[in-house]
Amino acid sequence: MNATRSIGAIACVVALLVGCDDSTATPIVDDDAIASAVRVEAQGCGPRTRTGTGTTIDDGVVITAAHVVAGADRVDVVGADGRRATADVVAFDPLLDIAALRPVTPVARPVALRSTPIAADDVGVVVVARNDDTTNSVIMESVAVEVARTVTIRTTDIYLEDDVERPGFEFEASIEPGDSGAMVHFPTGAAGVVWARSTIDPSRAWAVLLPPDLVSSSTSHEPVDTGPCR
């Protein structure tokens, strides 16, 4: 499946937003990545529903960007087949801009997380969830990516209040605003939530690595505070 599409607007100091291109991805990785993807819909901050992309991991937990669900009083996830479920936010990290959701019922197939370090020239795919305005359904689109290097991203938290460092990697892609929270998938497992793209080079983007403590805390069934709206 080819794709050129959005991944989400967030404010940061050094670079903004994330992306996709027109490349064709490895079919096996592509299929697994699409099966794990969900559209995240958050309500409670203004009249419009905030949307993003999430990825289903072990135990049906969905990983997405924290700024997508910040301040939300209701969160829903929608799978590729149209199944919908409400979800609790069970982990929320405004410093790394990563959150974990627990749907009341699973709407997508879990994907394995990568256990080996990221390296330059690794290739994989990013999947984004978009609305089909014609049918009012969700479309999952994927694009091939290639890792350029591992980096420490120096920026601010999602509220632009505190300086933070986010361990992650830089990769080649072309991303537009609108689908924050997508994950990069490799043949050895998923790793990294797509976070930002260069304001200078539209083919460069960044992903934040998933911290082990956030993944472990996502096994909780108890909702957590999602802070104020941003």
The 3-state DSSP composition of the chain as helix, strand, coil percent (nearest 5) reads 10, 45, 45
The pLDDT of residue 198: 78
Q: What is the separation of C-alpha 63 from the centre of its chain, rounded to a whole number of angstroms?
A: 7
Q: Which of 169, 62, 161, 164 is nearest to 107 (CA)?
A: 62
The pLDDT of residue 152: 95
Asked if 112 contacts 59 with a C-beta cutoff of 8 angstroms, the reply is no
Q: Token match 């479920």: residue? A: 85
The pLDDT of residue 204: 87
- Give the predicted TM-score (pTM) of the model: 0.85
Q: Let me know if 26 is exposed, middle or buried by CB neighbors in 10 A (0-12, 13-18, 19+).
A: middle
Residues linked to residue 194 through DSSP beta bridges, in sequence order: 207
- pLDDT tens per residue across all 230 residues of the chain: 333 333 332 222 223 333 333 344 445 578 889 999 999 999 999 998 999 999 999 889 999 999 999 999 999 999 988 899 999 999 999 999 999 999 999 999 999 999 999 999 999 999 988 777 666 678 898 888 999 999 999 999 999 999 999 999 999 987 766 668 999 999 999 999 988 777 788 788 899 999 888 878 788 889 999 999 98
Q: Which domains, from first to last, does the chain contain?
A: 27-217 (2.40.10.120)
- What is the Cα–Cα distance from 30 to 2, expressed in whole angstroms? 10
- What is the Cα–Cα distance from 125 to 146, expressed in whole angstroms? 8
Residue 80's contacts (CB-CB under 8 Å, 6 or more residues apart) are 34, 35, 37, 38, 108, 129, 138, 140
CA distances from 166 to 55, 65, 139, 210 (A): 20, 13, 30, 10
Per DSSP, the residues of 49-93 read EEEEEEEE-GGG-EEE-HHHHTT-SEEEEEETTS-EEEEEEEEEE
- What is the Cα–Cα distance from 23 to 98, expressed in whole angstroms? 27
The pLDDT of residue 35: 93
Tell whether the torsion through CA atoms of 216, 206, 77 and 51 is positive or negative: positive
CA distances from 151 to 23, 36, 42, 112, 207 (A): 24, 26, 30, 23, 9
Amino acid at residue number 82: G
